Each structure stands twice: as C-alpha cells, then as structure tokens.
Structure 1
C-alpha cells in the first residue's frame, strides 16, 4: 500500500477535481439543476451529488484499488448495508461528495466536498474542498492542517489574538436549516451573543479556521449528522489546534456500525472549549427538568 503522503496527494487531486465539477453544476441555471433534484428521507439529492460521488469513487479506486480499502459515500451507502462496514482490518474512505446540498440549491455558496480516511474508528487523513472559496483544506493525523489554493499551500494554526476575550464576545456558527427546539433553547441561553449563519459542516469548520467564528454546536434530535458530515472537518480543525468533542469530552468515532453521530457535539478553536461544554450541559439539564 502507498504511504500516507502519497495517498494524501491523490486525495487532494481528487478533491480539486470534485470541486471543479461541483462549481460547474453550481453555476448552471437553477432550472437545469432543479430538473435533477430528488428527496431521500426528506433530504435533497441533486444530479451534482451523484456525479461527484461517482467521480470521487472512480478516481480513488483507480489510484488505490479495493484490496486495502472500503469506500463509503453518502450516495452509495444504502447499497452497502449488507457489507461489514465496521471491520477494523480495513482502512475506510468516508466521503460526502456534496455537503450542504440545500445551500447548493439555494445558491448561498456554502457547500463543500469531504473526503476522510478512517483507521480503527478515527480519521487519519482529511480533505475539505470549498469550491466557491477556491480553497482546499487538508490534514493528516499529527501532521498539521494546511490550506491550499491553486497557487500555494500554507499551514493553518489557530491562534488566540484576543486572549482576554469574554464568553459573551464569542461567535457561534449556526445552521440555516438543521435546527431543533433543544438547540434553539441552548443557543438562546449560552452567554455567547453573536451568531453567524453558514451552511455545510465543512464550511462551518472553515469559518472557525479562518477565525471568523469561534464555535459550532450540533445536537441530534430525531436525526443526527452522519459520519461523512463530520469525519473530514473534525481532523482539519483538531490538527490546526481546535477541539471537536462530545459535551462530556469524549472523542468522536467513525465506522462503528452506526453512521449517525448521536449526542451533543461541540467544535471550537480550543479557547474556552471545556467551559463551553460545561455551560451547555447545565443549560440542557435545566430544559429537561
């Protein structure tokens, strides 16, 4: 099997290729795109989702083969349910060809490509491409996070330029569409008073990396984010010095046999992370009493 840096180079190339395809679909007329929208479990799926999923799988499998890897894409997962996807003897690619499909359709620009390589339930390689920003973030475990444009690649390291910043001044990046009563109650009662609406988990985490926001919270309700929503964004955040955990501090795991990331999750630039988790737990406990 190729070494991790060779695999990363392949994944970065595939990420840029996928971003180019999505960009071309995005800038077609809305009428053309709407012809290809279907709904699965109340979530939209476009012709762009399908085309990019096929592209990523074909490119990775052509370069890396199927002997050493399992490939899980959001758009092919249902057809793989009879496969033992939780085998820890395999390296598993977890792919979201279009994270933020609603934002893609609504033309907010907040959509991304997620490509993650998971070993023993943890991400060891990640690519998050954001077509409209013309940026690609990538990371390897213990190798740091980098942001790449078509011209260069530079390391990303979160720094706290406002060490005396108050909790009240922190900015929470929030979803436009994935909301529920518990989350709204939590957001209303946290001391953080500023919110920034961004679609796609990948775009939210990029907003934290770009130091335009400080934290992101996910509370599962009737549904939960899936492995492909979180696996790649988590690594690019944590390798840059941020944190992404459950409220109780436990780490996130993938390819466990359940694709749902249930529970209460908090991603942050690392500043006040534990304090924010404790505050959030107290507020939710008040709601449930």
Structure 2
C-alpha cells in the first residue's frame, strides 16, 4: 500500500475515532448502568454501540476486501487471514468508564502482517486524539484541529522515572515486581491508551504489563504501541522481542514494557532478574 493511500486511510481513521469518542460520551453523560459481565470483564451498551459505529463506518468508507477487522466485541478466537487488519477496542478502560474516572479511550490500529502501521487513540473526556503513521511521527489533535507533535521525555536515570500504573488489576507477583523497581514515583491512570498518552505528555515514563490469571489482548496494545514508538519511546517484551498482533491467540502472555527509551533494556533485564528471584523465593 503506497504512502498516499496510507495517508488517506489515516484521515478516515481519525474521523472515525472522533465519531466513536462522541458515541461513548453520549453514554458516559447519560445512562451507563446497563452492564453485563463476560469472562474478561464488564461490557456496557456503550462498548457495543461504539463497536457498531466503528465497524459500520470503516466498512462503508473502506469496504471489506482491502482490509479485515478484528474487534474486541466480535473476536471469534481465530487468526484473520489477511495482510491488512484493523484491530479495534471500542472502549478501552470499561471499568474506568463505569466508575467515571474520565480515563477511558478508543483504540484503532491498522496492522500489516502483524505489526502496527496506523494508530489512533482517542481520549474522549480530554477531547484529544493521538495518531501516528509508521515512520512519520506521533501527533495529538484537539477538537479545534490543532496538531502537536509528541515526543517522550528524556529522563534517563531509573530513579528519575515515573511509572504509570492501573489502580487495580495487579496480583501479588506483579505488585512485588513494581515494588522492587527503583522508580521516582507512580501515577495511577486508567485505560492503556490513557497510560501511553501520559508518557507522550511527559507526565510518566514507564508502563509495565505482566500477565497473571489474566493478560492484556491485542486490542489493548496495538494502537498505543505505535503512538509511543513514533514519539521516540520503546515497546517490547522483557526479553526484547517485538510484539506481534493477529497471531491467532490475541492474549499477550508474559511481561511487556513501554517506556520513554533510555532505560528500556536495563528495566527489561532488571524485571527478568526480579521475577526469577521472586519465583525462587
């Protein structure tokens, strides 16, 4: 797919992202009490409405031949056999949406052969849309159309770094890992998209995911990864290998670090060593 086409597709994705954010805000300001539970957590009418809006808008504007679609709400457990796949989380941070922390997001990412190429992360309550095209930087767009090029912080000593973490969702092993890493302080933020935006805004520097009884999925990470790496950050498994998407199993088992970059490899290695000690204790 050539550069011109990718830029056209990104423009459409930004329009769809803003629209999905508007759908969520209508529910957020209204009745969000219609909640059902599934294995991976709560689902609201807003999740389903935003999902329907995104898929319908994309299929109307882009069709179903050039692209395939993998959404949290419609995933059937199988790898999608198509080189170009949209990975969609219509509402990342459903618990924060229900609790009205304002820290929920829309994730939209186009991957090619398993790696992100176009990314849109919308934070509706902040009225911000972060977007990136592979190799062309990361930007924040506001409602009035103003664009700001995003760059992660240059903090380079582990003791100067701020960790961004969830308020909940941690088992004891994960908590022990975080407690033993030498960060300056912690910021507590919902939604993975909001956490990575926190790093883009230079308010935080590191986010860590460690699977336990549950684990993050493709749609949690695909869009946030690209907006981070295009802003100069790094994103990898503890072992250093890149994250692949649409591989059949969407669960991201193991440990993953997203960071501003300078201490990335050291933090990965330190995390491996700490976990080894914890598991031997």
TM bin, normalised by shorter chain, reads over 0.9
Shift of 1:271: 2.2
Pick closer, same or farther for the CA change 1:94–1:251 going to 2, 3 Å. same
What CA distance in whole angstroms lies between the structure 2 residues aligned with 1:155 and 1:168? 27
After TM superposition, give the deviation of residue 55 of structure 1 in Å.
0.1
SS in 2 for 1:284: helix
Q: 2:205 and 2:184 mapped to 1: Cα distance?
A: 12
Aligned to 2:117: 124
Does 1:256 find its partner at 2:255?
A: no
| Displacement of 1:157 | 1.9
8 Å Cα contact 1:205/1:237 also seen in 2: yes
1:70 match: 68
Instruction: Give deviations 1:10-47, integer Å, cap 9, x for gaps.
Output: 0000000011111121112xxx311x100000500000
- TM-score using structure 1 length: 0.93
Corresponding residue to 1:187 among 173, 178, 189: 178
Indicate which of 36, 61, 76 corresponds to 1:38.
Answer: 36
Number of residue pairs aligned between Structure 1 and Structure 2: 277
Asked whether the 8 Å contact 1:114–1:129 carries over to 2, the reply is yes
Deviations 1:50-70 (A, max 9, x none): 000000000000000001211
Q: Does the CA contact (< 8 Å) of 1:53 and 1:73 recur in 2?
A: yes
CA contact 2:93–2:105 (8 Å) conserved in 1: yes
Whole-angstrom CA distance in 1 between matches of 2:88 and 2:175: 29
Q: Secondary structure at the match of 2:182?
A: coil
CA deviation map 1:210-263 (0-9, x unaligned) = 011110000001221000000000000000000010011110100011111111
Tell which deviates more after alignment, 171-180 or 49-58: 171-180
**Counterpart in the other structure of 1:285:** 276
- The root-mean-square deviation of aligned C-alpha atoms, in Å, is 1.3
Rounded Cα–Cα distance in structure 2 between residues aligned with 1:37 and 1:99: 15
Question: Are 2:231 and 1:240 aligned?
Answer: yes
Structure 1 residue runs of 5 or longer lacking an equivalent are none
1:173 aligns with 2:168: no
Quick one: distance in 2 between partners of 1:53 and 1:268?
29
TM-fit CA distance, 1:194: 1.0
Aligned residues of 1:147 and 1:153 also touching (Cα < 8 A): yes
Native 8 Å contact 2:51 2:71 kept in 1: yes
Q: Does 1:22 align with 2:7?
A: no
Residue of structure 2 equivalent to 1:61: 59
TM-score (norm 2): 0.95
Q: Secondary structure at the match of 1:286?
A: helix
